[in-house]
Amino acid sequence: MSITHDATPPLLRVTGLDKSFTWGHQTIEILKGINLDVRQGEFLTMVGASGAGKSTLLHILGTLDRPTRGTVLYDNQDMFRLSEHELAHFRNRRIGFVFQFHHLLPEFTALENTCFPGFIQKRPVRQCTEEARALLSEVGLGHRLHHKPGELSGGEQQRVAVARALIQNPDLVLADEPTGNVDSRTGEILFQLLRTFNEQRGTAFIIVTHNEHLSQQSDRLVHMADGRITDSGNGVAGQDGSRAR
């Protein structure tokens, strides 16, 4: 199998990324000199021990937090030169999120939770609703549209979270332990669901996971330890993120 090296700029480029906190007179370093490229349509998993910095990195990549030093470029645009308002708009349009604990709004139905990013963008209600219905059907919840989170199983709630992450058709989905709060069989189904959306839509995924079995099924496996990337992985993709053809 040959590797095709794509000369186009990556979707995401991280350079010299540091993150630290000051605690009294002590500086605590969380991320140390992170460099990472992610290509459009790549399916990347990230593993490492608790405290390695994976979730902190994911929050910065999602523009939910700012680095101490370094740059995060999306399509060559420096994210942290944008205002908070501009960042919020970019995040809503271009990035989807799937968290371990779902973060669904308990008073809203599965359909309403899925529509929520579109409502924030003030998209037409009918358009959002139709797209949300289609997405929920794709994740196997066409019969649960009007159920609230408390009426859904953990796996079903996570499926709603996946649909919500995709409603804006983002370029990139960031998933932090999306299978960590469900049983192994449900986790496998959820992981394959993400893979299917990656292949069908060309959406890039970065998935933080402790599940080594699932991580081996990605295009590229990135290892983190002590705030650093120790191995950018090979998998199906090359170390520069180019995909095998």
In this structure, of 27-41, 56-70, 159-173, 204-218, the range with the lowest mean pLDDT score is 204-218
Q: Is 225 domain-assigned?
A: yes
Between 107 and 232, the more confident residue is 107
Separation CA 183–CA 161 (nearest Å): 17
Is there a domain that residue 4 lies in? Answer: no
Range 36-46 average pLDDT? 93
- Crossing angle for the helix pair 110-120 and 154-166, to the nearest 10 degrees: 30
* 8 against 6, higher pLDDT: 8
Is residue 242 over pLDDT 50?
no
Residue 147 lies inside a defined structural domain of this protein: no
pTM of structure: 0.85
61-77 pLDDT tens trace: 999 999 999 999 998 89
Any idea which residue has 């804006």 for tokens?
168
pLDDT in the model for residue 213? 82
For residue 169, give the CATH number of its domain. 3.40.50.300
Record the tokens describing residue 91, joined without a space: 């995040």
At 241, is the pLDDT very low, low, confident or very high (cuts 50, 70, 90)?
very low
Containing structural domain, residue 28: 12-105+153-231
Residue 244 has pLDDT above 60, yes or no: no
Query: What is the average pLDDT across 164-169?
Result: 92
Q: Is residue 75 part of a domain?
A: yes
Residue among 213, 171, 223, 168 nearest 192 (CA):
213
Residue 2 CB coordination number (10 Å): 6
Mean pLDDT of the chain: 86
Q: Which residue reads 């159920």 in tokens?
A: 147
What total number of domains does the chain contain? Answer: 1
Residue 208, Cβ density class (10 Å: 0-12 exposed, 13-18 middle, ≥19 buried) = buried
- Indicate the burial class of 78 (C-beta count within 10 angstroms; 0-12, 13-18, 19 or more): exposed
